[in-house]
Amino acid sequence: QVQLQQSGPAVVKASQTLSLTCDISGDSVSSNSATWNWIRQSPSRGLEWLGRTYYRRSKLYNDYGISVRGRISINPDTSKNQFSLHLNSVTPEDTAVYYCARELFGSDFDYWGQGTLVTVSS
Amino acid sequence: QSVVTQPPSASGTPGQRVTISCSGSSSNIGGNYVHWFQQFPGTAPKLLIYKNNHRPSGVPDRFSASKSGTSASLAISGLRSEDEADYYCAAWDDSLSGRVFGGGTKLTVL
């Protein structure tokens, strides 16, 4: 059974960097059959895909959503079997519930983290 | 504003069949798979349908979906009170090089 466990601060000050981590159990961040995603949800923006990280034949790939491109990085850590989100220069508009999720090849976002409400304080 | 649009609300009575539409363009729904998610308040979305019309194990066959051109739809037959939730469609968008979600449809069981 795959489980994704999120951790990170609930409050971030404006202009600083939002950082969250997603611990994976039951699968591997270096799997060739999955991508590892960050998605957020707010009343004003709905569900918004932020980006993903994944390996194919030992090569690392990243894709980022257009709304956060340039401010985001998603990094896998194979030694800890986790992946992290870093979103810099945050504003109150970045206040949202953040989810990590696995996208399984041949399926879709089949496992999600529990969600973390992150509030950006001005 | 989402590039993939859904009606904000839908409703039905127990036992009824309801459908939720999802409209996009050739860069998303028209050229890529559509997936559907169910979300209850305070919980993460749950995968309901993947690759246009496939149900993950454990999803009742009361849930079905289809795609035609740049639109897709989710159908729920034999509506139950526990189906009251928010429903989202999603697809990859080739122009944006990213995943897009519909704005969501709140289903009310009357």
The confidence score (pLDDT) of residue A80 equals 98
- Are B52 and B42 contacting, i.e. CB atoms less than 8 angstroms apart? no
Looking at residue B76, its pLDDT comes to: 98
Q: For A66, which of B37, B44, B98 is closest by C-beta distance?
A: B98
Query: How close A79 comes to chain B (CA, Å)?
Result: 27
> Is residue B59 packed enough to be buried (19+ CB in 10 Å), middle (13-18) or exposed (0-12)?
middle
**pLDDT surpasses 90 at A106:** no
Q: Which pLDDT score, from 0 to 100, does residue B2 have?
A: 81
**pLDDT per residue as tens digits for the range B24-47:** 999 999 999 999 999 999 999 999
- Residue B49's closest CA among B6, B8, B88, B5? B88
User: Given this model, what pLDDT does residue A87 score?
Assistant: 98
Cα within 13 Å of Cα(B41), Cβ side? 4
Decide: helix, strand or coil at residue A28: coil
The verdict on a CB contact (< 8 Å) between A47 and B50 is no
| Region A101-108 average pLDDT | 93
pLDDT single digits (tens) A50-95: 999 999 998 999 999 999 999 999 999 999 999 999 999 999 999 9
Which of the 8 DSSP states describes residue B54? B
Which structure tokens are listed for A86? 């870093």
State which residue of chain B sits closest to A107, comparing Cα positions. Answer: B50
Residues in chain B: 110
CB contact at 8 A, B91 and B43: no
Task: Using the predicted structure, report yes or no on whether residue B1 has a pLDDT greater than 80.
Answer: no
DSSP structural state of residue B55: P
